[in-house]
Structure 1
Amino acid sequence: MVTAQSINELTTEALENNPGVKASYARFEAEMQTIAQANALPDPTFSFGYFISPVETRVGPQRMKFSLAQMFPWFGTLQAKSDMRTHLAEAAYQEFLDQQQLLELTVRKTYYDLWEIHERVDFIEENLILLISRRELALSGFSVGKNSMADVIRTDIMIEESVTKIRLLQDKIIPLEFQMNAVLNRSQQDSIRIIDRFDSSSLDLPQVADTSLFQNRNIQAVRSRIKAAEAAEELATRQGRPSFGLGLDYVLVDERTVQGLDDNGQDVIMPMVSMSLPIFRKKYKALTQEALLRKEAMEFSEQNMVNEFRSKLELKKYAVESSAENAELYREQVTKAEQVRDLLISDYSNSGAGYDEVLAIEKQLLDYQIKTIKVIREGLIARAEFLYIIAQ
């Protein structure tokens, strides 16, 4: 099956079907579920006790007891826990968005590689047609004694080289199509037909502000984790304070056989208040220190990312601009080489001399054409990486 899709259509399909993106989104959804868990109070406790040997009281023997209790953490503890989980969910969401952008970058890189190979094949096939015509010209000249058979043989050598190059390039297409189909999560037998066309005008870069770098999804995720560490520090502080509990005991009391006893068999209802005593402070100090160290680690990671991405941004910008300049240079060289080739062909047709120069300029022309698409492909990849860094 041959699929003809633009690069934007392939990107959309990959975002919809790629298992890696789906897994990343599932991780985000899982983090979202922890927010509701963080807001919940501890489960209430219910207990039942039966007196095997009844406890005798003035109003009768106690037979059984029911207890219900609910603990409440210190004020703000649940909010701090919820804030921490919310920031972690935000980090997971930014990582999901980064996974999408990485996938788009992979699709674009593979598409540009396929485009370059198809363009190379097209240029070599065009050159092959020209070589065949040159061979006919050399053979015609040989038949009338204007040149030697060596011209024909040299042309045959170049034709064989071109055929081999085409076959090797076509073989190289197969693993790239496998890679693209794997990203798209579809049959490995599907072929990709390249329909987009690129030139030096495709290498324009958008104007970016100094703050654009901070839109990078990885940096956004780290910033969310820094906020989560701050919330964890607050949570550790509040967990080190007492928790309070409210409860109720209900005791069933049997009646005594004594007549005229006030409150005979009166059941007992006993409200209760409890409080935890967090007196072992080492645990809570360690929790606070852990949160502080995690925050410090994330801040260092953020600074490292900013420095690394800022450096990469400049390198990618240079790569795009240099590719555009080289593409224009090679395009001019192609034009001049075509002019030289036409002049040499005219001279050879008239005199039968200079066939080496004809073959040399044909080879040089093909070299300029291949260099043009090579630098454009390199520029396109650098541009895609540039846009990935600034999350565009």
Structure 2
Amino acid sequence: APQVRALPDPMASVTAFLSTPETRVGPQQASAMISQRFPWFGTLDLKEKQALLGAAASRLEVEAKRLQLVTEVRRLAWELAYLDAEEEAVLEDRETLSHFEELARARYASGVGLGQAVVKLQAEITKDDNRILRIDSRRASLVASLNALRDRPAGDPLPTAQLSAAPAIVPPMDPSGLLDVAEMHRPEVRRSRILTEAAGIGIELAEKQYRPDFTLGFGYTLVGSRDDPAGRAMPPPDNGDDIIGLTLGVNLPVRREKLAAGLLEATARESAARDRTRGILAEIERDLGDLSSRLPLTLDQLALFDDLLILQAEEALRSAEAAYASGSQSALDLLDAERVLLEVRIASARARADSLILHARLEGALGAPVEVLLNGDAS
């Protein structure tokens, strides 16, 4: 702000007369002048305020980028945690299938089981191996993306996050309350409103262009003594006295078309800034509506997996193992039960990761932790 609050640089000039003008009190030998331009009243204050608002807007832009970065880092971290959970489930499944394959091989060798069951189990084990390779490939991509956001080498190790260690919090989902919190905390909204205010000051500055600026000057002229015969014979009382003068000038803002165009441009900028604010709020409201509706559904789905489907799948596998041991079911029936349990476990991990990602995105859309909603504090 100091650079716009300060007055324009003063002007200084020096004149040396090659042919000295003669006056009653003597010849003028040289003159010097210094002048200072003063904008219309209040212009510099408005420029300072506009500059301060611009600086605040730049700071909020950095905050908005930081918020986006944190939200994306959290999303990638939970995706990595999901891959760890998926890998754990697949490795456990592979171990179980290897055990089943040994049992099926033993039965086939004794003439009780079918060779088809052994081959089928081996094929499923190979599928698990392929799934582990796909998980490793996706993990490498996510780690590289996370390290790029951290400004670290692509292969740098990352701390691990456990899905089970971070349960999602369900905040109140009142749409108007969510939007109020976002308006209070989102840096994009505050930045846009600050820029709108700065654009309004631009209109005031454009209006002040219709007012003149003032220039105040101080001049000093060096006068020599008279050396002509009359001056030497009867020198005047103020012979050789130097001259001091003050000047006051104003510019004339007569180019009305130019001034009107500047005012029209400033008005258009202010209108565009208001439109941007409305657009940002509409986008935030859309995101909040989407997230506030999807998060409870995802948590309901997670509860269904954890409280019912996983228990049912585990019970079905135990029943299949008992039936296989008694000889009433084949190894293929055992395989089907194990496949169901694996898919349910992976789907449960996916639902938990999705709920945590939605939770992170909701906080990013709010610009504040969900505890703000839980505590009823929007300040």
Regarding TM over 0.5, the answer is yes
Q: Which of 127, 140, 158 is 2:124 aligned to?
A: 158
Q: What is the match of residue 282 of structure 1? A: 257
CA distance in 2, matches of 1:116, 1:126: 15
Q: What is the match of residue 87 of structure 1? A: 53
Q: Does 2:255 correspond to 1:255?
A: no
The one-letter code of the counterpart of 1:256 is: R
The one-letter code of the counterpart of 1:213 is: A
Q: Which of 299, 310, 314 is 2:289 aligned to?
A: 314
Specify whether residues 300 and 327 from structure 1 end up closer, same or farther in structure 2 by C-alpha distance, changes over 3 A only: same
Task: Check the 8 A contact 1:199/1:376 in 2, yes or no.
Answer: no
Q: Which of 235, 244, 250 is 1:269 aligned to?
A: 244
1:92, distance to aligned residue in structure 2 (A): 1.4
1:269, distance to aligned residue in structure 2 (A): 0.6
**Length-normalised TM-score, structure 2:** 0.90
Q: Which of 310, 313, 321 is 1:345 aligned to?
A: 321
1:124, distance to aligned residue in structure 2 (A): 0.2
1:323, distance to aligned residue in structure 2 (A): 1.0
Q: Which of 200, 204, 212 is 2:181 aligned to?
A: 212
Q: Which of 349, 352, 359 is 1:383 aligned to?
A: 359
Moved more, 190-199 or 372-381: 190-199
Q: Which of 239, 242, 247 is 2:209 aligned to?
A: 239
CA distance in 2, matches of 1:198, 1:309: 30
Task: Check the 8 A contact 1:73/1:244 in 2, yes or no.
Answer: yes
Question: Which of structure 1's runs of 4+ aligned residues deviate more than 6 A?
Answer: none
CA distance in 2, matches of 1:59, 1:182: 81
Aligned-pair identity in percent equals 25
1:206, distance to aligned residue in structure 2 (A): 5.6
Specify whether residues 237 and 198 from structure 1 end up closer, same or farther in structure 2 by C-alpha distance, changes over 3 A only: farther
| Equivalent residue pairs, number | 358
1:266, distance to aligned residue in structure 2 (A): 1.0
Deviations 1:268-296 (A, max 9, x none): 11111111111112222222211211111
Task: Check the 8 A contact 1:146/1:352 in 2, yes or no.
Answer: no
Task: Check the 8 A contact 1:200/1:376 in 2, yes or no.
Answer: no
The one-letter code of the counterpart of 1:55 is: P
Moved more, 189-198 or 327-336: 189-198
1:213, distance to aligned residue in structure 2 (A): 2.6
SS in 2 for 1:278: coil
Deviations 1:157-213 (A, max 9, x none): 000000011011112111211111111111222122413434783242366625113
Task: Check the 8 A contact 1:250/1:270 in 2, yes or no.
Answer: yes
Q: Does 2:10 correspond to 1:44?
A: yes
1:378, distance to aligned residue in structure 2 (A): 2.0
Task: Check the 8 A contact 1:67/1:248 in 2, yes or no.
Answer: yes
Q: What is the match of residue 39 of structure 2? A: 73
1:142, distance to aligned residue in structure 2 (A): 2.0
Q: What is the match of residue 302 of structure 1? A: 277
Task: Check the 8 A contact 2:80/2:139 in 1, yes or no.
Answer: yes
Q: What is the match of residue 363 of structure 1? A: 339
C-alpha root-mean-square deviation of aligned residues, in Å? 1.6
CA distance in 1, matches of 2:14, 2:213: 24
Structure 2 residue runs without a partner (length 5+): 369-379
Deviations 1:105-131 (A, max 9, x none): 111111111111111111100100101
Moved more, 196-205 or 309-318: 196-205
SS in 1 for 2:269: helix
1:348, distance to aligned residue in structure 2 (A): 0.4
CA distance in 2, matches of 1:239, 1:88: 21
Q: What is the match of residue 135 of structure 1? A: 101
CA distance in 1, matches of 2:101, 2:255: 94
Q: What is the match of residue 21 of structure 2? A: 55
CA distance in 2, matches of 1:68, 1:253: 18
CA distance in 2, matches of 1:317, 1:113: 20
Greater gyration radius: 2
SS in 2 for 1:256: coil
Task: Check the 8 A contact 2:210/2:253 in 1, yes or no.
Answer: yes
CA distance in 1, matches of 2:257, 2:3: 27
Task: Check the 8 A contact 1:61/1:256 in 2, yes or no.
Answer: yes
**Length-normalised TM-score, structure 1:** 0.88
Task: Check the 8 A contact 2:77/2:161 in 1, yes or no.
Answer: no
The one-letter code of the counterpart of 1:126 is: E
The one-letter code of the counterpart of 1:43 is: D
